[in-house]
């Protein structure tokens, strides 16, 4: 684990990234560290989080075990962040599963794939926001970034991976709802589509690099106080809902 910085260091911006031991989440951590954030790199498995963080040890990256599908794990992570820094400046809900191209809405395994995907892709970010909002409210410029997908755009939606795109559409709805609720608190909440990125989920044939996909997420994390909220973006440009 990287060296902890003092919890009273008010000038340090603290960001937490879920599902960050590889792929887009890992690259988001790298880019945020380059922008002088203290980054809490999380993964369900503590060892995987520590291994990933050690690769970025020179950039102020710390490991944190966190399973977004487990309420107790989230509660424990909140306690860790509160003890270390007493606040959180940026929450990036990146963890996501099941690009279920092997299913259709007609034949999808409701009690298996669908429920599993809802728990991680929708309820995970929802629980994270609820749990971390007390710490986000202590920030002078809090940001919530929900990593979504154009697959969840109702305007463009057709046949596709059913559990994945339905949960991403729901995540977009949660983004809009939270943005409206938190507007007066000056907490900016946005959804970001990284595009079709060459990750384990996107496949080696995807046209965008991990670096390109992560950049739009980092952009939303760094928005100025007068920046947009309740939006859906890719590369800093609006996407249709």
Rounded Cα distance between 228 and 217, Å, is 14
Catalytic residue among 26, 164, 232, 233: 164
Q: Is 99 a catalytic residue?
A: no
Q: Which residues are known catalytic residues?
A: 164
């Amino acid at each position: 684990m990287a060296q902890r910085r003092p919890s009273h260091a008010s000038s340090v911006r603290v960001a937490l990234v879920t599902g960050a031991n590889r792929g887009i989440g890992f690259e988001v951590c790298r880019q945020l560290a380059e922008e002088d954030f203290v980054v809490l790199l999380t993964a369900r498995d503590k060892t995987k989080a520590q291994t990933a963080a050690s690769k970025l040890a020179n950039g102020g990256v710390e490991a944190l075990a966190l399973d977004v599908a487990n309420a107790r794990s989230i509660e424990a992570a909140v306690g860790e962040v509160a003890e270390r820094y007493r606040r959180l400046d940026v929450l990036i809900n990146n963890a996501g599963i099941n690009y279920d191209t092997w299913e259709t809405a007609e034949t999808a395994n409701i009690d298996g794939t669908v429920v599993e995907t809802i728990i991680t892709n929708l309820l995970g970010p929802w629980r994270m926001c609820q749990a971390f909002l007390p710490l986000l409210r202590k920030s002078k410029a809090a940001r919530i970034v929900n990593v979504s997908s154009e697959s969840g755009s109702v305007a463009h939606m057709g046949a596709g991976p059913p559990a994945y795109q339905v949960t991403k559409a729901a995540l977009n709805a949660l983004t809009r709802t939270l943005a409206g609720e938190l507007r007066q608190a000056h907490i900016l909440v946005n959804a970001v589509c990284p595009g079709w990125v060459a990750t384990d989920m996107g496949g080696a044939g995807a046209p965008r690099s991990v670096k390109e996909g992560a950049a739009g997420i980092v952009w939303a994390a760094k928005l100025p106080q007068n920046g947009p909220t309740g939006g859906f973006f890719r590369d800093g440009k609006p996407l249709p809902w």
